[in-house]
Amino acid sequence: MVLIAEKSLLSSEEIKVQEKLAIFLAFIAGYIDATGLIKWKTYVSFMSGNTTQLGTAFFSEKFGIIISSAMVIVSFLIGIYAGTCLSLWKKCNIKTIAFYIVSGILILYTLLNYYFQVGNIPSIAIIGFAMGIMNTIVTTVGNQKVNTDFVTGTLNSLARNTAIFTMSNDGNEKKESRANAIHLLLLWMGFLSGAALAPILINVLVNWTLILPAVLLLTCSRLIPSSITKKN
């Protein structure tokens, strides 16, 4: 079984920037996911949890959960589809366009919700779509495939790479798996930090809770070279 991908063609500096960006996005994903859970009792980026809720709700006739879970899953999928199409669109030279789109959605939603009080179902559909797009911004760190809002996959890969580092006798393989394990651990910690911060800031920012990740995304798009965001 091959658990380590082919050697990355990126420079060490590009990999470091890519790693920082992935952690940064994981932080935002954790923050927004926790916000969705607190505000709407629905995960907006953790589709495993929503799928579990959807399955258990069928036979308990909890139609509210069925509708909200199905809506966010569909919206998230459409967001991933849209984000992937953007990354493959050869005529688009703005490689950070996904940052602007997600940030714009969060800002527009915040303004609409402030003046018109958007309902729960439209809210999770909008934010779920935005999270789907954000999920496509960074898909690798060096040669390690990552998903900035899929914690189960991150922990799975972390444990596997740790096992390879422990058991392998090949020096290069041990070095590679160690680097991957560190990347994945930091990614998980980023998501956890964002989720931990959300309950505090919701009470402080109230209706402006999602402005923070919107501003962070805009800031990040200005700091990261556009070449780093290309998909491998």
Phi and psi at residue 144, to the nearest 5°: -100, 120
Which pLDDT does position 7 carry in this prediction?
47
Angle between helix 97-116 and 63-88 (nearest 10): 150
- pLDDT tens track, the chain, 232 positions: 333 333 455 667 777 777 888 888 999 999 999 999 999 999 998 898 899 999 999 888 788 899 999 999 999 999 999 999 988 887 666 678 889 999 999 999 999 999 998 999 999 999 999 999 999 887 777 677 777 777 888 899 899 999 999 998 888 888 889 988 988 899 999 999 999 999 999 999 988 999 999 999 988 877 665 444 444 4
Angle between helix 12-40 and 120-134 (nearest 10): 170
Token pair for 195: 């989720």
Q: What is the C-alpha separation between 104 and 214, in angstroms, rounded?
A: 7
Residue written as token pair 């990126």: 10
Which pLDDT does position 126 carry in this prediction?
96
